[in-house]
Amino acid sequence: MVQPNVWKELSAWCNTKNITLVAVSKTKPVEDILALYELGQRDFGENYVQELLSKHEQLPADIRWHFLGHLQTNKVKYIAPFVHLIHAIDSSKLLQEVAKHVQKLGRCIDVLLQMHIANEDTKFGMDETQIEACVQWYKEQPWADQSIRVCGLMGMASFTENTEQVRQEFLQLTQCFHKLKQTYFEDNATFTVCSIGMSGDYEIAAAVGGNMIRIGSMLFGKR
């Protein structure tokens, strides 16, 4: 069930901290999305291409759609025309594939590189060395900062009660972000995003410098 009061409090909290709140609506009906839309929420996150396409078609055009799931290269073309931010770029190959499709469309797409920070091998993402190699490669491409803008990093912490571990994992990401910023994006006004924190750990994420949180169950109820 949608939680309007939770949304109001959380959204006000995010505003005071300059944090972007992405409402993660995967598996939830369009009515639930509309309920938060009417309160003023515009950023929504989805994980599955088919579901995103169907919701995009049914819902207001000014919604900013964030794609959070693992994106298969053969599905890039479906979301490329309208997606606002792709959070989970986990290889140069996928970055190249996104570039190929947006060049055809003549638009620019913003993406985040997914960093593997959790102590679990089930989660996708690149380690720090791979991220840096990916950024170096990206910077050499003719379409860099034109067709595609790399705007920052995304990560998911381990699913654990150990808050210190979660904090360390998020810190690993924000430190990597600052290093990349200094080395590759110093004069770049769009490399600004650390997308970390979900319903269970967003306060820890915000405390270590996260500035985009992705909240599902807290706003929409259990999936």
Ligand X SMILES: *Cc1c(COP(=O)(O)O)cnc(C)c1O
Taking the least distance from each CB to ligand X, the nearer of 26 and 100 is 26
Minimum CB–partner distance for residue 98 and ligand X (Å): 17
Q: By C-alpha distance, which of 194, 179, 220, 167 is closest to 32?
A: 220
CB distance 23 to 44 below 8 Å: yes
Q: Give me the residue whose beta carbon is nearest to ligand X.
A: 216
Hey, what amino acid is at 210? G
Minimum CB–partner distance for residue 90 and ligand X (Å): 12
Taking the least distance from each CB to ligand X, the nearer of 106 and 223 is 223
Question: Angle at Cα 216 formed by Cα 50 and Cα 161, nearest 5°?
Answer: 125
Taking the least distance from each CB to ligand X, the nearer of 11 and 47 is 47
Taking the least distance from each CB to ligand X, the nearer of 103 and 160 is 160
Q: By C-alpha distance, which of 157, 202, 195, 201 is closest to 177?
A: 195
Separation of alpha carbons 209 and 203, rounded Å: 10
CB distance 202 to 11 below 8 Å: no
Minimum CB–partner distance for residue 119 and ligand X (Å): 17
Q: Do the strands 43-46 and 20-24 form a parallel or antiparallel pair, or are they unpaired?
A: parallel
Taking the least distance from each CB to ligand X, the nearer of 124 and 143 is 124
**Positions that interact with ligand X (CB under 6 A):** 24, 26, 47, 68, 156, 198-200, 214-218
Minimum CB–partner distance for residue 87 and ligand X (Å): 7
Minimum CB–partner distance for residue 103 and ligand X (Å): 27
